[in-house]
Structure 1
Amino acid sequence: MYLRDGCSLLLKLRKPSIPFVLNTNPIFNFEKPQMQNSPVPESQVVKVLKHEQDIVLALEYFKSVANFGAFKHTHLTYHVMIEKLGRSSEIDGVQYLLQQMKLEEIACSEELFIVVMNSYRRAGLADQALKMFYRIREFGCKPTVKIYNHLLDALLGENRFQMISPVYNNLKGEGLEPNVFTYNILLKALCKNGKVDGARKLLEEMPNKGCTPDDVSYTTIISSMCKFGQVEKAKEIAMRFTPVVPVYNALINGLCKECKVKEAFDLMNDMVGKGVDPNVVSYSTIISCLSDMGNIDLSLAVFAQMLMRGCSPNIHTFSSLIKGHFLGGRPGDALGLWNIMIREGVKPNVVSYNTLIYGFCSNGSMTEAISIWNQMEKNFCHPNVTTYSTLINGLAKSGNLFGALDIWNKMINCGCCPNVVAYTCMVDVLCQMSMFDQAYRLIDNMASEGCPPTVVTFNTFIKGLCGGGRVQWAMHVLDQMEKYECVPNIRTYNELLDGLFRMNRLGEACGLIREMEERKVGLNSVTYNTLMNGFSCLGMQERVLQLLGKMTVNGVKPDAITVNIIITVYCKLGKVRTAIQLLDTITAGKELCPDIIVHTSLLWGICNWLGIEEAILHLQKMLSRGIFPNFITWNVLVRGFFNSLGHMGPIRILDDILGKG
């Protein structure tokens, strides 16, 4: 198995351009002279153009029927052909035929110009749509509110907010009156630009301008307010009129994002009370929220209620339930729901397949995940980059690095462009295989392929380098991050500090801490634990206790790892009684639940400083708290037992350990 040459290069497929040759003065030298004497009716040309699925063949017919002199194209045939080209995003063809209409003095209607505007919008060419709009009179067409609306919608689709206001002012300057569709586009533009308060003011002004808001207007405002966390204010606005299902759904979604499930249920009951039937979106939103919260049983209860009220679940409903069951550690039930979904005739899509694959990967069931992926291809559902990223990550975590490489190669070969997640997963795989040069090249290629590496990508690479003993290289990568406009975060420094301490490079570690302070990067519990563990391993126990004090002063809360380090430090210093008191205080406070690792560290100290009898007493205390020894714990006790053979009889020690003394 190997990483294919050039696998990091995205495969950019370009559609071949369609040749346009429509003679205005054709030379008829084709072997079909009979067509000149057999005029083709307009209805037949329109019928052929509409029914021909192949855009190239449709265009060939469009050209030939005119070039042979059998037909002179009309506004209607141009309209059909332009619409067909526009749907295929063949913008060059659209522009060519518009120009041809202009030469033949065939006026462009409002409907046809709207088709042209929609073609640009579909192709993501709002700039060209605007340029074409300002040439509208060249084609014998006058601007209308309807055309303006489609232009504004094209600009909105590409978030060209700075262009929307001038176009709207131009509309007013033409003496045209905006309608509800115009205002709805403006409302959406304001909301997408984060100006929700401005959108609310516009909503209130609409009636004064002779335009009554409709359901779309209210839904746009309510949805945006909920998105920005203004759910209560959104509810106040919604209660001023008779809300429709989309408005209720927006409110339910807002409440669910804040995990206010009870309020979401109350709102659904309010819907029913007012005679508004919740739809599949209403139920699916609540089911998704409950599934994410791990409340599987209640999500199933809502699902049952949904069925009882005659509302059929869709793919999103089942996907949410399946995800919830995986999160709840019930993969068997998740697969059962999948089978029910298939049986009920709900066709899986790429999102639902990805949910199932992710669930199996998270549970380490890679055989099942690969099986679902194969099934996906057999059912003609094409995997996307999320599918491949999930499989690569899952295989890497399960230790199947060659399998991860194989999936990467298949992704590249099928023309699927990696995203930053896929690249980062692959960097991790290559680092685990100690293929650091290849990982570095992959990161370098990301920027050139329009997918620049993120801080997560660099953190993954730095972690791999440090784990492989390449700390100096990792430090060099830290300096290079600036080249890619990536700012190191606390995890970057934590990985580097861990690597430096492993290599006993104390001076560089201290230099890195100073750099963090200069950059005002706040230390977290992981940083303090890394530093304390590093100093402890270097025998600098007093420095560890100083760091603990600094950690407390800075308001960073200790965790179980911190406690284990401190217990170990006290034991190394011979302050075992202090360690016991500390552990008892933590246990009594119930803020932390010390695990078997902490207790094992303390047992090591007790065995070394206080003797095996004290260790047995602590063991009994552990057992009474429901903490059971593991292999390492018994190993510590056995070593302590042999060290104390000179002080007490071996039979008595064994009896005490086994609880028979």
Structure 2
Amino acid sequence: MNIGCSFLAVAGAAAGANRLRLLSSQSSFSIPIPPLLQLNPPQPPTPPPQNPNSALSDLTRISELLSSPALQPGPDLEEALTAAKITPSPNLLLDIFNHFDSTPKPVFTLFNWAQKLPNYEFSIAVFNAMVNSLGKAREFDSAWCLILDQNKEDPSKRPDFDTFLILIRRYSRAGLPLAAIRTFEYACSLDFFHNSDAEKNLLEALLDSLCKEGHVRIASQYCDKIRAKDPSWLPSIRIFNILLNGWFRSRKVKHAARLWAQMKKEDVKPNVVTYGTLVEGLCRMGRTDMAMKLLDEMKTEGVEPNAIVYNPIIDALGEAGRFKEALGMWERFSILEVGPTISTYNSLVKGFCKAGDMVEASKIIRMMIDNKCLPTPTTYSYFFKYFLKGGKTDLGLNLYTKMIRAGYEPDRLTYHLLVKMLCKEGKLDLMMQIIKEMRARGFDLDLTASTMLIHLLWKMCRYDEAVSEFQDMFRRGIVPQHLTYRRMTDELERRGMT
């Protein structure tokens, strides 16, 4: 059995060496984009809809109404939705919420309008999406009004585990850790939470959210508080892993070391996630060599490394420009049964793009494709970041065009990078065309992109359009920066246009 395993390992290493030789032998700078449209087997033609109110046309019409600067959230928008004679199914609403999650006010109007319809079908997924949108906009009072009202409904339509998980995460992200804890305690007081597993899972989610948003000290103190009330309570291995991750994210290595010592003292056996947390934390602190030594300790402990251990090391080596070692670590990973993941390849692409080596980054994508691991918009976003940094607008637009032709759906980040790229170059007409295409796909500008657009319009003396965009930010529920407001009002006063 051992001889067979050794043979497979040697064979795998040889195959990997061949792949690396192939990688190093290619030198042309051409970003490969596999045609997604040809990957799926041909499907029988879809029959035409029996009526014009198809889901697609409804999605398009609602998107147009929510994006229209002429329609203010509230009665005006509700009236337009009614006039459009749209049937808002749960799936349709979820599609809309996913695309318009940066514009909470129009979405809230849509949600309230849909709820009033006689044939409205309640969906907890839609309800939670609305709570998430309000939480993202920090409209917590409105979110709680929805939750408390829904609590009065039939038990099958009441808020669930995910509802409170969403609020906890949004409070943590908003820098309100105590509100997140109060949300957890309120949820645990409800009848359907009188279940040890549900309470345990939500506690772990609370601690995870707090730690990820920099509130690890509060998370640790809350654990101490629980233990003081119940001395028999012992944190699970997941809670230890969460707190370890939190201390590392906050760059508190001594606290992480103390917690690691506590785990050993209490005979809590580390698992692969524990080691992955240690490896990621050390890599984040720039101690990549120390992280690599943990691989040997894992073998001694009988813990098999996987993606959560290898990926942070490969990412850190790539970030540091240590590409020979990064590719060597990729080789070690590729021998394992689990093998490299999309994140592994993305880390290599990111590292080469950061170093400005487009040739090697392109070769990694070819290697991905050869290994049946298809690139995603995230993979290509690293090229767009490089083009943005280097002012290579033409290359960015060319890559965008190739992605569209290959069947890719650019994500929000891709569009925002393109908008910033064109804004930086002062190419307003092209920028407006990209924004038009972006909005047609259901995305909208975030605060940064909207601000850049306003400043460019202002710079080019297109004041009416700048003011219109400024007002539209409010309509979408985005609060402009004070600096933008002062700059606009000062200039308008100077020109006597107020």
- Scaled by the length of structure 2, the TM-score of the pair is 0.58
Q: CA 1:235–1:264 in structure 2 vs 1: closer, same or farther (change >3 Å)?
A: farther
Q: Which amino acid in the other structure matches residue 197 of structure 1?
A: I
Paired position in structure 2 for 1:385: 377
Query: Which residue of structure 1 aligns with residue 434 of structure 2?
Result: 442
Specify the code of the residue in structure 1 equivalent to 2:223. K
After superposition, the C-alpha distances for 1:210-229 in whole angstroms (9 at most, x for unaligned) are: 75465324323433443561
The separation in 2 between residues aligned to 1:353 and 1:222, in whole angstroms, is: 30
The answer to whether the 8 A contact 2:184-2:203 is kept is no
1:472 maps to 2:460: yes
Could you say if the C-alpha distance between residues 154 and 197 of structure 1 is closer, same or farther in structure 2, counting changes exceeding 3 Å?
Answer: same
Provide, for residues 584-623 of structure 1, a one-character-per-residue CA deviation record: whole Å limited to 9, x for no partner.
xxxxxxxxxxxxxxxxxxxxxxxxxxxxxxxxxxxxxxxx
Q: Separation in 1 of the partners of 2:459 and 2:49?
A: 60
1:9-60 Cα shifts (integer Å, max 9, x gaps) = xxxxx99768999xxxxxxxxxxxxxxxxxxxxxxxxxxxxxxxxxxxxxxx
Is the contact made by 1:392 and 1:405 (CA closer than 8 Å) also made in structure 2?
no
Whether 1:233 aligns to 2:221 is: yes
Taking a change above 3 Å as real, the CA distance of residues 473 and 121 of structure 1, as seen in their structure-2 partners, is closer
- Taking the aligned partners of 2:472 and 2:193, their CA distance within structure 1 comes to 50
Q: Is the 8 A contact 1:156 1:189 kept in 2?
A: yes
1:223 aligns with 2:190: no
Deviation at 1:358, TM superposition (A): 1.1
- RMSD between superposed Cα atoms in Å: 4.9
> Which residue number in structure 1 is paired with residue 185 of structure 2?
201
Query: What does residue 341 of structure 2 align with?
Result: 349
What is the CA-CA distance between 1:483 and the residue it aligns to? 4.6
1-structure distance, mates of 2:93, 2:340: 28
Alignment of 1:140-219 (within 5 A): 155-156=127-128, 159=131, 165-166=148-149, 168-170=151-153, 188=165, 191-192=168-169, 194=171, 195-202=179-186, 205=189, 211-212=195-196, 215-219=200-204
Contact 1:361 1:369 in 2 (8 A): yes
Change (3 A) 1:16 1:235: farther
Look up the equivalent residue of 1:425 and give its one-letter code.
Answer: L
Task: Return the alpha-carbon distance in structure 1 between the equivalents of residues 129 and 426 of structure 2.
Answer: 45
Equivalent residue runs for 1:582-621 within 5 Å: none
Alignment match, 1:482: 470
Given the superposition, is the C-alpha separation of residues 158 and 351 from structure 1 closer, same or farther in structure 2, using an over 3 Å criterion? farther
- Partners of 1:156 and 1:164 within 8 A in 2: no
Aligned partners of 2:244 and 2:277 also within 8 Å:
yes
Q: Does the alignment pair 1:294 with 2:310? A: no
Q: Are 1:364 and 1:398, in contact at CA under 8 Å, matched by a contact in 2?
A: no
Q: For each residue in 1:518-566, what CA deviation from the matched residue of structure 2 results, as whole angstroms up to 9, or x when unmatched?
A: xxxxxxxxxxxxxxxxxxxxxxxxxxxxxxxxxxxxxxxxxxxxxxxxx
Inter-CA distance 223–421: structure 2 relative to 1 (3 Å threshold): closer
Contact 1:225/1:234, CA 8 A, preserved across alignment: no
SS of the residue corresponding to residue 383 of structure 1 reads: coil
Matches within 5 A, 1:233-632: 233-237=221-225, 239=227, 240=230, 241-395=233-387, 397=389, 401-427=393-419, 429-430=421-422, 435-457=427-449, 471-473=459-461, 478-479=466-467, 481-485=469-473, 489=481
Aligned residues of 1:196 and 1:221 also touching (Cα < 8 A): yes
| C-alpha contact 1:238 1:247 (8 A) present in aligned 2 | no
Check 1:393–1:217 CA distance in 2 against 1; reply closer, same or farther (3 A cut). Answer: closer
Q: Is the CA contact (8 Å cut-off) linking 2:353 and 2:386 kept in structure 1?
A: yes
Describe the shift of the 1:221–1:444 C-alpha distance in structure 2 as closer, same or farther (beyond 3 A). closer
Distance 1:164 1:483, change over 3 A: closer
Say if 1:17 and 1:253 are closer, same or farther in 2 by CA, change over 3 A. Answer: farther
Cα offset, 1:368, TM superposition: 0.6
Structure 1 residues 221 and 511: CA distance shift in structure 2, 3 A? closer
Query: 1:124-135 maps to which residues of 2 (within 5 A)?
Result: 124=94
In the TM superposition, what is the alpha-carbon distance from 1:284 to its structure 2 partner?
1.8
Shift of 1:193: 5.8
- Cα distance, 1:437–1:450 mapped onto 2, change above 3 Å: same
Aligned length: 366
Could you tell me how far 1:197 is from its partner in structure 2? 3.4
Greater length-normalized contact order (CA 8 Å, ≥ 6 residues apart): 2
Question: Could you list the per-position Cα deviations for residues 82-115 of structure 1 after superposition, in whole angstroms to 9, with x for gaps in the alignment?
Answer: xxxxxxxxxxxxxxxxxxxxxxxxxxxxxxxxxx
Q: Which amino acid aligns with 1:226?
A: C
Offset of residue 205 of structure 1: 4.8
- The whole-number CA distance in structure 2 between the counterparts of 1:413 and 1:430 is 21
- In structure 2, relative to structure 1, the CA distance for the partners of 1:333 and 1:443 (3 Å cut) is same
CA distance in 1, matches of 2:275, 2:92: 32
Q: C-alpha separation between the residues in 2 aligned to 1:210 and 1:436?
A: 57
Closer, same or farther: CA 493–122 of 1 in aligned 2, 3 Å:
closer
Taking a change above 3 Å as real, the CA distance of residues 472 and 193 of structure 1, as seen in their structure-2 partners, is closer
1:435 to 1:186, Cα distance in 2 relative to 1, 3 A = closer
What is the deviation of 1:246? 1.8
Q: Tell me the distance in 1 between the aligned counterparts of 2:160 and 2:283.
A: 38
- What is the TM-score of this pair, normalised by structure 1? 0.45
- Cα distance in 1 for partners of 2:370, 2:384 equals 20
Compute the displacement of 1:474 (Å). Answer: 7.6
Q: Which range is displaced more, 367-376 or 314-323?
A: 314-323
Change (3 A) 1:245 1:513: farther
Alpha-carbon offset, residue 462 of structure 1 = 8.0
Residues 484 and 448 from structure 1, CA distance in 2 versus in 1: closer, same or farther, beyond 3 angstroms? Answer: farther
Larger Rg, first or second structure (1 or 2): 1
2-structure distance, mates of 1:348, 1:444: 37
1:479, distance to aligned residue in structure 2 (A): 4.2
Q: Deviations for 1:155-186, whole angstroms, at most 9, x for unmatched residues? A: 546647665555554456x9xxx9xxx98567
Kept after mapping to 2: 8 A contact 1:430/1:436: yes
Cα-to-partner distance string for 1:491-523 (whole Å, 9 max, x where unaligned)? 9799x9xxxxxxxxxxx9x965999xxxxxxxx
1:32-181 to 2 correspondences below 5 Å: 124=94, 155-156=127-128, 159=131, 165-166=148-149, 168-170=151-153
SS in 1 for 2:348: helix
2:284–2:316 Cα contact (<8 Å) kept: yes
Amino acid at match of 1:196: A
Give the distance between the partners of 1:20 and 1:441, measured in 2 at CA: 31
